[in-house]
Amino acid sequence: MRAFCTTLAALAVAFPATAAPKLRAWVTTGDKTQLLAAQPPSDAVSAKAVEGLPLIAIDAKERHQSIVGFGASITDASAWLIQNKLTPTQRDALLRELFGRANGGLGFSFTRVTIGASDFSLDHYSLDDTPNGAPDPRLEHFSLKRPEEYVFPTVRAALRINPNLKVMHSPWSAPAWMKTTGSLIQGELKPESYPVYADFFARYIKGAAKLGVPTDYLSIQNEPDFEPDSYPGMRWKPEDRARFFGENLAPVFRREKIRTKVLDWDHNWDQPRQPMTVLADPKAKAFLAGVAWHCYAGDVSAQAPVTAAHPDKEIFLTECSGGEWAPKFDDSFSWMVENLIIGSTRGGSRGVLMWNLALDEKFGPHKGGCGDCRPVVTIDSKTGAITRTQEYYAFGHASRFVKPGATRIGSPAKVGDLRTVAFQNPDGRRVLLVLNIGAAAADFAISDGGNHFKGSLPARSAGTFTW
C-alpha cells in the first residue's frame, strides 16, 4: 500500500493538475487616470459566483477571420521626423516601442506606405516625374530615390524589430503625365495610360523588394472617389478600376510572377456599392484579394454586407485619423475602440490601420490637406520628446495582445453598455476587448466553456482581458 501511494505521489509530481486559469486585464479610462494599466490578476470562479451579472459568453467554436495585425502608416512626414528629429537612440527606442513586444511594446504588425507623395509629404512628387511633364511610356525616369531617403529605411528598421510586419502600399496619384489634368492634383488616369501604369506597379513592387521592402498588399488608388484640390489625388470610377484589374494589372502580375495581394476601394464606408461593382466583374473578382475601407464617411456597418457577399475576400480598415476636430480624449478614444477595433474586426477586418504613425507638435509636416490630423505619437521637433495620443492607447488595446494569426471568435456585440470582440491567439490564449460606453462603472461575468471570471470596468473605459 505504501509503495502504491508513493507511486501516486510520483505521478502527481510528473503530471501536475492543470492550474485554474487566471484572468489578466489592462485598462484605459476616459479621464486618463489609467492608460493601458495592468490590473491585479484574478482567479476563475464558480458559475454560481457570477449569477445575475451581465454575461459576456465566449464561444471559441465560432470562428471568423484570421488577423494580420494593427498599426499605422509610415508616411513621408512620419519617416522624415523619425529619421531627422530623433537621435539614433531615441529612434531605436520609439520603433521598438511601436513595432516590438518586449517591455510592453505595442507590437504593430501592419503598416502602410505611400507610392509617391500624399498630403503628409514635404513636397508633391511622383516616382516618375519628367521634364515639362513629357510622356515616359518606357518608364525611363522611374526612380525609388525619394522613398529610399526616409520611408524605406524606416520600414526596414521596423522589419528588423518585427520580421512578421506586413506592408501595404498605396498611391495618391499616378504620375502627372499619365493623367487628364497633366498634374498630380485632381484628374483621372488617361485610358491610354492603363498599360504603362500596370508596368509602373510591377516596377515599383520589384524595385522595393530589391531594397528590402516587401509589398504584401497593394491598392491602386487611395480614395478613388475624391479629387483633393491641394495635394495629389485621382478619381477612378469602379467600372474603370475593374477593367484595369482584369485587363491590365492581372496579366502584368502573371508575367512578372508577382504575388502581392491587391485590394480595391481604399475609401470610405459610405459607398459600399463601389467595391461591390468592381467585384461584380468576373476578371476583377478573380484577381482581387479583397477590399480596403476608410472611416471618414458612412458607418462601419457597411463592411458586413460586403464581407457576407464575398466571404472569400479579405477585408481591411486601411486608414482613419483622429484630429483636433475631436480633441477630447474620452470621446475620441471611445469612438476609435468602438468603431475601428471592435466594429471593424466584427465586420470582417483582418487588419486595422491608423493614418500617420508620427507627426510633430504642429500636426505636420504636411503640404496641403489636413492641418490638424492627430498621429499615434507626436514627436517634438526640437527635443525629440514623445507624446502618446488616444490613438496610441486605442490601438494598443488590440495590437499588444492580439497576435498575428489570431482568429476572431464568438462574443456578443453588445451587453448593455458594453461592446465586445474576442480572439484566440495561435497559442490558444483568449483575448477579449470590452468597451464600457456608459456613464457608470460596470461589473460583468465572462464565461468560456467551463471557466468563469468576474470582470469590471470604470465608466467610459476600455479593457483587454486575457486568459
The CATH number assigned to the domain holding 459 equals: 2.60.40.1180
Domain boundary among 401, 419, 454: 401
pLDDT given for residue 8 in this prediction: 44
pLDDT given for residue 20 in this prediction: 76
Q: Is 76 found in the same domain as 44? A: no
Q: Is 146 found in the same domain as 22? A: no
* Amino acid identity at 10: A
List the beta strands (DSSP E) in 10-89: 22-29, 37-38, 42-43, 55-66, 69-73
Question: What are the pLDDT digits (tens) for 308-333?
Answer: 999 999 999 999 999 999 999 999 99
| Residue 6 is assigned to a structural domain of this protein | no
Residues of the chain with pLDDT > 70, as a percent, come to 96
Q: Is 284 found in the same domain as 332? A: yes
Q: Is 75 found in the same domain as 53? A: no
| Residue 344 is assigned to a structural domain of this protein | yes
Q: Is 343 found in the same domain as 305? A: yes
DSSP secondary-structure letter at 230? S
Q: Residue 11's pLDDT band (boundaries 50, 70, 90)?
A: very low
Domain boundary among 401, 419, 448: 401
| Closest to 280 in 3D by CA, of 320, 240, 239 | 239
Question: What are the pLDDT digits (tens) for 153-196?
Answer: 999 999 999 999 999 999 999 999 999 999 999 999 999 999 99
Domain boundary among 355, 373, 401: 401
Question: What are the pLDDT digits (tens) for 88-142?
Answer: 999 999 999 999 999 999 999 999 999 999 999 999 999 999 999 999 999 999 9
Q: Is 245 found in the same domain as 219? A: yes
Q: Is 435 found in the same domain as 377? A: no
pLDDT given for residue 2 in this prediction: 52
pLDDT given for residue 12 in this prediction: 46
Q: Is 85 found in the same domain as 32? A: no
Q: Is 136 found in the same domain as 47? A: no
pLDDT given for residue 412 in this prediction: 98
Question: What is the number of structural domains in the chain?
Answer: 2
Q: Residue 259's pLDDT band (boundaries 50, 70, 90)?
A: very high
| Residue 1 is assigned to a structural domain of this protein | no
Q: Average pLDDT of the chain?
A: 96
| Closest to 398 in 3D by CA, of 429, 373, 365, 423 | 423
320 neighbors 344 (Cβ within 8 angstroms): no
Question: What are the pLDDT digits (tens) for 201-256?
Answer: 999 999 999 999 999 999 999 999 999 999 999 999 999 999 999 999 999 999 99
Q: Is 386 found in the same domain as 247? A: yes
Q: Is 51 found in the same domain as 153? A: no
d(CA 451, CA 292): 37
| Closest to 432 in 3D by CA, of 392, 402, 396, 454 | 402
| Residue 361 is assigned to a structural domain of this protein | yes
Give me the residues paired with residue 307 across strands: none
CATH of the domain at 324: 3.20.20.80
d(CA 282, CA 132): 39
d(CA 334, CA 354): 15
pLDDT given for residue 18 in this prediction: 57
Write 90-99 long-range contacts (CB < 8 A, 24+): 90/384, 90/386, 91/157, 92/157, 94/358, 94/377, 94/379, 94/386, 95/154, 95/157, 95/158, 95/161, 96/161, 98/158, 98/357, 98/376, 98/377, 99/158, 99/161, 99/162, 99/165
d(CA 303, CA 308): 9
d(CA 107, CA 17): 33
| Residue 3 is assigned to a structural domain of this protein | no
Give the domain range for residue 213. Answer: 68-401
| Residue 106 is assigned to a structural domain of this protein | yes
| Residue 13 is assigned to a structural domain of this protein | no
pLDDT given for residue 4 in this prediction: 47
pTM value? 0.94
Asked whether the CA dihedral 274, 275, 276, 277 is positive or negative, the reply is positive
| Residue 279 is assigned to a structural domain of this protein | yes
Q: Is 107 found in the same domain as 209? A: yes
